[in-house]
A and B are shown apart, each in its own frame.
Chain A
Amino acid sequence: MSKVLVVTSGKGGVGKTTSTAALGAALAQSGQNVVVVDFDVGLRNLDLVMGAERRVVFDFINVINGDAKLAQALIRDRRIDTLSLLPASQTRDKDALTPEGVARVLDELREKFDWVICDSPAGIERGALLAMYHAEVAVIVTNPEVSSVRDSDRIIGLLDSKTAKAEAGEKIDKHLLLTRYNAARAARGEMLKTEDVLDILSIPLLGIIPESEEVLRASNLGAPVTLNNPTSAPARAYFDAVKRLQGDSIAMTVPTARRGLIGKLFGRRVA
């Protein structure tokens, strides 16, 4: 049974694309057939973060327009063969995404993959709405700061009204992914506390990804952090998030970087 998952946020720069790549790679490593789809037409980045930018020939828009077959546009990851990418077009804009075209391509992807992960563009316009429309599961990426939380709240409202599930009177499965979490700063009161974010958004918490240079390093190397350094703190947090996504119940901790020779894991219980 395939699932369509949208990674969304409203606000830009909170880590949607990074999280899409990390979650996709983690799911694929667990043996699932995964495709990550870049909906950010005109400002594509997922190909870079996935390290596939040198292999793009055809893209999502070519498939929608019938210029290429889906199989021609899909790029299979060289590191995990159960992970594929459908890149966006950089030379077009969101108007090139048609509701019928998106529906047709997503139907075809559902047949081939267990998980279809849609990387939403920022904003609440056409691109973001089409990315979420077919989803059954939503991961709302939020930073522990007021502007990000308010934008996430806006997106949750849209998820509950502008998706196919909502239109059918059903509820979309929503999860909060708190990213760029800095425990020290949160303790000093410079960031919103996890409880405060959960209190405002009142959706279940999928994971807390600690702020880490590892994330930046992985992005610049063109590798999802869950592939580039699977033992790093953010990678372990993404692996835990994926287990929760698959229904496992795991205690919520913020993994921190390992210290000392024995590599002891300092887990901090936060929620």
Chain B
Amino acid sequence: MNAAPSPRPFLRLRGRSFVALVLSPEAPVAAWVAGLDAQLQRAPSFFAGRPVVLDLAALTPQEPDAASLVAAVRARGIHLIAVEGAGPTWPGAEYWPPPLIGGVAGRVVEVPDEVPTHTPAEPAALVLAQSIRSGQTILHAKGDVTIVGAVASGSEIMAGGSIHVYGALRGRAVAGIAGDPSARIFCRRLEAELLAINGFYRTADDMPAPLRGRPVQAWLEGGALNIAALE
């Protein structure tokens, strides 16, 4: 079977325009770079994903710090697509991106001050003035959990920090889940099914019988989970 004469591969081209930002450093260079840093501090993501052209027309290669300017701009994560207003006589010009053709001058771009996204500070401690029912899980990955009430059999308290139960602890208490060996578990009455701190655990079966029903604390020491009465 004869292959049909293959047509010339069709190259589909489309135009797309982006607005490039033009940075125009002025002397003294060190002060200008400090100003750029201050701007980045206020609006850290302003230059992210935007093409930037560096216009050196206002500078001469003899200006102090001018030679390192391109490197300084790049080091701040700014995506340089071209350097203009400077000849190939500039030191380091061979490492610059090739010049671009065309381009239309645009308006002056105002750099907005970014409002830092407001993250409400997570409360260090979680306090629950209620009893925890069977089947409930209280998960507080950062900080301590305090329960003013009982923790029922079949429920689970998990805390990044310590666990305090002002009532009978009949369920599971898992403290230091974020890897905190200094976390402790305190309860008014030990009836727990399981106590765990930073991965070390004891089931009800492994707890000293005389401590049952008593106020206790549990902590890690010597690579083991210790339980002792609080009085």
Q: With contacts A53-B193, A57-B194 known, is A91 near B201, CB below 8 A? A: no
- Stretch from B81-89, B133-141, B180-188, B222-230 contacting the other chain: B133-141
Query: Is the CB–CB distance between A91 and B136 below 8 Å?
Result: yes
Q: With contacts A53-B204, A55-B204, A57-B201 known, is A91 near B155, CB below 8 A? A: yes
Tell me how far the C-beta of B139 lies from the nearest C-beta in chain A, rounded to whole angstroms. 10
A68 contacts partner chain B, Cβ-Cβ < 8 Å: no
Chain B residues with CB under 8 Å of A43's CB are 135
Query: Is the CB–CB distance between A90 and B134 below 8 Å?
Result: yes
Chain B residues with CB under 8 Å of A191's CB are none
- Cα distance A53–B154 when bound, in Å? 9
Query: Is the CB–CB distance between B135 and A91 below 8 Å?
Result: yes
Q: With contacts A57-B194, A90-B155, A91-B155 known, is A42 near B135, CB below 8 A? A: yes
Residue of B nearest to A90 (CB): B154
Chain A residues with CB under 8 Å of B201's CB are 57
Interface set, chain B 135-183, CB cutoff 8 A to A = 135-137, 153-156
Q: How many residues of A contact B (CB 8 A)?
A: 10
B205 contacts partner chain A, Cβ-Cβ < 8 Å: yes
Interface string of B2-41 (1 = CB under 8 A from A): 0000000000000000000000000000000000000000
Query: Is the CB–CB distance between A91 and B204 below 8 Å?
Result: no
Pick the residue among A42, A44, A54, A90 that contacts B204 (CB under 8 A).
A54
Interface string of A58-92 (1 = CB under 8 A from B): 00000000000000000000000000000000110
Query: Is the CB–CB distance between B194 and A91 below 8 Å?
Result: no
Chain B residues with CB under 8 Å of A91's CB are 135-137, 154-156
Interface string of A30-45 (1 = CB under 8 A from B): 0000000000001110
B203 contacts partner chain A, Cβ-Cβ < 8 Å: yes
Query: Is the CB–CB distance between A55 and B203 below 8 Å?
Result: yes
- Cα distance A28–B136 when bound, in Å? 34
A106 contacts partner chain B, Cβ-Cβ < 8 Å: no
Tell me how far the C-beta of B112 lies from the nearest C-beta in chain A, rounded to whole angstroms. 45
Q: How many residues of B contact A (CB 8 A)?
A: 14
Chain A residues with CB under 8 Å of B137's CB are 91
Tell me how far the C-beta of A57 lies from the nearest C-beta in chain B, rounded to whole angstroms. 6
A56 contacts partner chain B, Cβ-Cβ < 8 Å: yes
Pick the residue among A56, A57, A90 that contacts B135 (CB under 8 A).
A90
Residue of A nearest to B137 (CB): A91
- Cα distance A42–B194 when bound, in Å? 17
Tell me how far the C-beta of A68 lies from the nearest C-beta in chain B, rounded to whole angstroms. 12
Interface centre among B136, B154, B193 (most CB of A within 10 A): B154
Query: Is the CB–CB distance between B154 and A57 below 8 Å?
Result: no
Residue of B nearest to A45 (CB): B154
Q: With contacts A90-B155, A91-B155, A91-B156 known, is A54 near B203, CB below 8 A? A: yes
Interface set, chain B 100-157, CB cutoff 8 A to A = 134-137, 153-156
Residue of B nearest to A57 (CB): B203
Chain A residues with CB under 8 Å of B134's CB are 90
Pick the residue among A42, A53, A55, A57 that contacts B153 (CB under 8 A).
A53
Tell me how far the C-beta of B46 lies from the nearest C-beta in chain A, rounded to whole angstroms. 43
Interface string of B60-88 (1 = CB under 8 A from A): 00000000000000000000000000000
Chain B residues with CB under 8 Å of A54's CB are 193, 203-205
Chain A residues with CB under 8 Å of B136's CB are 91
Residue of A nearest to B202 (CB): A57
Residue of A nearest to B207 (CB): A54
- Cα distance A93–B220 when bound, in Å? 32
Contacts A/B (CB < 8 Å), 28 sampled: A42-B135, A43-B135, A44-B154, A53-B153, A53-B193, A53-B204, A54-B193, A54-B203, A54-B204, A54-B205, A55-B203, A55-B204, A55-B205, A56-B193, A56-B194, A57-B194, A57-B201, A57-B203, A90-B134, A90-B135, A90-B154, A90-B155, A91-B135, A91-B136, A91-B137, A91-B154, A91-B155, A91-B156
Give A residues with C-beta under 8 Å from B. 42-44, 53-57, 90-91
Give B residues with C-beta under 8 Å from A. 134-137, 153-156, 193-194, 201, 203-205
